[in-house]
A = this chain, B = another copy of it.
């Protein structure tokens, strides 16, 4: 099915998003931040977390699932740690608030950690970790999320795709930016295989009885109906290839993001009423910032980072391979290209954006 992508310019896409958020009463500052988080995802080539989600954010604000004007507040604070209550607002402004706090603490004390409760979907984890790079700090960002992932040997989804992002400054080379779901693949990948009617690789997902499956449509249908099965943790269906490790990382993220701040965790992040209706979400985040110079002079650290990166990139390649990547590299390259040439949007996403524009009575002219 040939689907022609539509190229839109970065600035106008961001302005459009901002306008939409402001129309549903989000403050100009928060609208700007949320637009930036979404468009940065598209810029970096992570379309699943970009403006493709605008309609969902918009609808959530409309229905009151998230609040346009939340009261974000500090619930507990020490010289190195902060607990934030997000007040049920949009995830991105809450996340930026939280990561800024972590950076402030690190500036003063060497390290800073912030946990957040009562938040919602915050977009790409890497956005917040990368905020630390401007200060030459190491940045950490994690979030829990809606249940999609089965624990090893379990039948039902009990955990989110719970991503981990860590950003580390470097010198001449591009920074290291790990930004990974702790599941093998995100839900969007299963959707792509369904659309293409391709069998899933074994190790991505399980069916309603908890067996590894190649049937994308069945996995998605089961997830929607909460009928059992789901995405597999990084490492696959059992312990043979290390599925218990991915499951352990997902639990760790849920502990730091859910249990530690008192947010939702496991299957309580996106609770539903008895009739299946969604109740307000209680997503949790975890942010950290670490000064490099608490351990080692920054310049030394950066040049060693460069050397380590080059040792990887310059190493001999496996047969048939041309290139060894460092984490974040593909995304930096995508961002450069898309900043220059514009962002390619899937036609379905454009349909969505146009529908939103029409609904709130603004013109769509991207």
Chain A residues packing against B (C-beta within 8 Å): 76, 78-81, 83, 109-111, 113, 115, 150-156, 158, 166, 168, 176, 178, 180, 184-185, 201, 203-204, 206, 209-211, 228, 234-236, 240-242, 244-246, 248-249, 251-252, 254-255, 258-262, 265-267, 290-292, 294-296, 300-301, 304-305, 308, 311-312, 315-319, 321, 323-327
Contact = CB atoms under 8 A, between A and B. Distances in A.
Contacts of A295: 76, 81, 83, 115, 260-261
Chain copies in the assembled complex:
2
Contacts of A210: 316-319, 321
A321 B315 CA distance: 42
A305 B204 CA distance: 28
Contacts of A248: 178, 180, 327
Contacts of A83: 294-296
Listed residue (A156, A259, A294) with the most chain B CB atoms within 10 angstroms of its CB: A259
19 contacts: A109-B109, A113-B290, A150-B318, A154-B312, A176-B251, A178-B252, A184-B235, A210-B319, A211-B319, A228-B316, A241-B241, A254-B308, A258-B308, A259-B301, A259-B305, A261-B295, A262-B296, A262-B300, A266-B311
A251 B201 contact: no
B244 A327 contact: yes
Contacts of A261: 295-296
Q: Which 10 A-B pairs have the closest CB atoms?
A: A210-B318, A81-B294, A153-B321, A155-B316, A80-B110, A178-B248, A209-B319, A266-B311, A180-B245, A248-B327
A92 to B, nearest CB: 22
Contact of A178 (B228, B251, B321): B251
A154 B309 CA distance: 13
Listed residue (A254, A292, A317) with the most chain B CB atoms within 10 angstroms of its CB: A317
A317 B259 contact: no
Nearest to A235: B234
A249 B178 contact: yes
A151 B315 contact: yes
B296 A266 contact: no
Nearest to A291: B81
B251 A326 contact: yes
Given A83-B296, A235-B184, A241-B201, A318 B252 contact: no
